[in-house]
Amino acid sequence: MDKNLFNELMQSVTEMNEIHHWEQGRRNPTGPARALLRAIERDPKHVLAALIG
């Protein structure tokens, strides 16, 4: 996945408002954002390497 596609993906899943709500404990990530965060938590080196290229 190239950087532009990754940026588009991240923008669609993690709008700044959502991130703020997650940080404040008012909401929990769902769907693709939750799956991506879980994968990064479990194996950050390989997931980020795969996303960045």
Q: What is the pTM of this model?
A: 0.57
Res. 33: pLDDT tops 90? no
Residues 6 or more apart in contact with residue 29 via CB below 8 angstroms: 14, 18, 22, 37
Mean pLDDT, the chain, whole residue set: 82
**H-helix or E-strand spanning residue 10:** helix 3-13
Res. 42: pLDDT tops 90? yes
Res. 38: pLDDT tops 80? yes
The C-alpha atoms of residue 26 and residue 18 are separated, in whole angstroms, by 9
Res. 21: pLDDT tops 80? yes
Counted domains in the chain: 1
pLDDT (0 to 100) of residue 32: 85
Range of the domain at 20: 3-52
CA 28 to chain centre: 12
